[in-house]
């Protein structure tokens, strides 16, 4: 009897230790990756002032303009809801699921989308999302690279899509060169708005530079996925998608793929 109790205790001690180790690993990884909540405070400056980001929104707008109204749209890693907003404005009858694990990002999205009643907020990572319906359209912009295990995540995306459903996928593949982005944005802003306004926007957006540096570090440490366009395409095809269109975007830092779930 005594030994059974003892072995029970040692099991629970081992389980506690494993849980502590998992928690330590999670907090170590969190410290070495982007702080999405901090990023959320100035994230929408990208939509306001970064022409490369605006081009992506335009690409998505064109994609959505060319399809029949979807029944169900998933916006995976939807951040502050820029793409869900686009979808909600175009398709007020569609059910939109914004999957976003970070509370800071999600709160911004909820504020931005407060005028719409067709949005469901899913506050988990893609890997833990439990949604009882399948999507006929998925939007996944600049979030796949930051998720754990892209092979499994692409399978999740495939499983969430109806056969024949469409996915608008954009993923950051190359390492984030903060100096390059800084000089690109600064010359754009001074040209468009003058020096004073450029300095003001840079000051407002200082968290963006900080988090982009964190993204760069995480890419270098292998915590965030980097890939070429061909590597992303191969992973997407292996997960059961057919690629309809592919191009390099976001100043060649990212790849855009329009994909169809195999029948």
Binding site for ligand SAM (CB under 6 A): 36, 76-79, 82-83, 99-102, 105, 125-127, 141-143, 146-147
Closest separation in Å from C-beta 215 to ligand SAM: 8
Nearer to ligand SAM, 44 or 162 (CB): 44
Closest separation in Å from C-beta 57 to ligand SAM: 8
Nearer to ligand SAM, 100 or 136 (CB): 100
Nearer to ligand SAM, 95 or 107 (CB): 107
Closest separation in Å from C-beta 146 to ligand SAM: 4
How many residues are present in the chain? 263
Nearer to ligand SAM, 184 or 190 (CB): 184
Closest separation in Å from C-beta 78 to ligand SAM: 5
Closest separation in Å from C-beta 81 to ligand SAM: 8
Check the CA dihedral 215-221-225-227 and report its sign. Answer: positive
Closest separation in Å from C-beta 101 to ligand SAM: 5
Residue with the CB atom nearest ligand SAM in the bound state = 79
Measured CA distances, 152 to 126, 218, 235, 238 (Å): 10, 20, 10, 11
Measured CA distances, 232 to 174, 238, 245, 259 (Å): 11, 10, 13, 12
Nearer to ligand SAM, 12 or 221 (CB): 221
Q: How far apart are CA 24 and CA 90, in angstroms?
A: 44
Paired residues of 169 in beta bridges: 140, 257
Nearer to ligand SAM, 45 or 95 (CB): 45
Angle at 220 between CA 188 and CA 145, to 5 degrees: 75
Nearest residue to 57 (alpha-carbon basis) of 80, 29, 33: 80
Q: How far apart are CA 102 and CA 211, in angstroms?
A: 14
Nearer to ligand SAM, 47 or 190 (CB): 47
Burial of residue 65 (CB within 10 Å: 0-12, 13-18, 19+) is exposed
Q: Supply φ then ψ for residue 245, to 5 degrees.
A: -155, 145
41: left (phi over 0), alpha (psi -120 to 50) or beta: alpha
Closest separation in Å from C-beta 197 to ligand SAM: 23
């Amino acid at each position: 009897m005594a030994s059974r109790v003892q072995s029970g205790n040692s099991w629970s001690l081992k389980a506690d230790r494993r849980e502590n180790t998992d928690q330590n690993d999670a907090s170590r990884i969190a410290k070495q990756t982007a702080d999405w909540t901090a990023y959320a405070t100035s994230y929408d400056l990208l939509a306001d002032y970064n022409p490369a980001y605006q081009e992506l929104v335009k690409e998505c707008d064109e994609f959505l303009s060319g399809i029949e109204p979807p029944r169900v749209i998933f916006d995976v890693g939807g951040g502050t809801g820029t793409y869900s907003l686009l979808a909600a404005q175009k398709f007020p009858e569609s059910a939109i699921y914004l999957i976003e694990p970070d509370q800071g990002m999600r709160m911004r999205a909820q504020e931005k989308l407060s005028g719409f009643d067709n949005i469901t907020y899913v506050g988990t990572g893609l890997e833990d999302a439990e949604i009882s319906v399948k999507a006929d359209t998925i939007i996944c912009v600049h979030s796949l690279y930051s998720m754990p295990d892209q092979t499994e995540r692409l399978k999740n995306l495939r499983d969430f899509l109806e056969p024949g459903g469409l996915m608008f996928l954009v993923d950051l593949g190359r390492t984030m060169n903060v100096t390059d982005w800084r000089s690109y944005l600064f010359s754009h802003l001074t040209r468009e708005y003058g020096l004073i306004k450029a300095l003001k926007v840079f000051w407002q957006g200082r968290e963006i530079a900080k988090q982009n540096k964190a993204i760069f570090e995480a890419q270098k440490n292998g915590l965030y996925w980097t890939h070429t366009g061909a590597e992303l395409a191969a992973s997407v095809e292996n997960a059961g998608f057919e690629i309809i269109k592919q191009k390099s975007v976001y100043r060649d830092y990212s790849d855009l793929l329009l994909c169809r779930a195999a029948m």
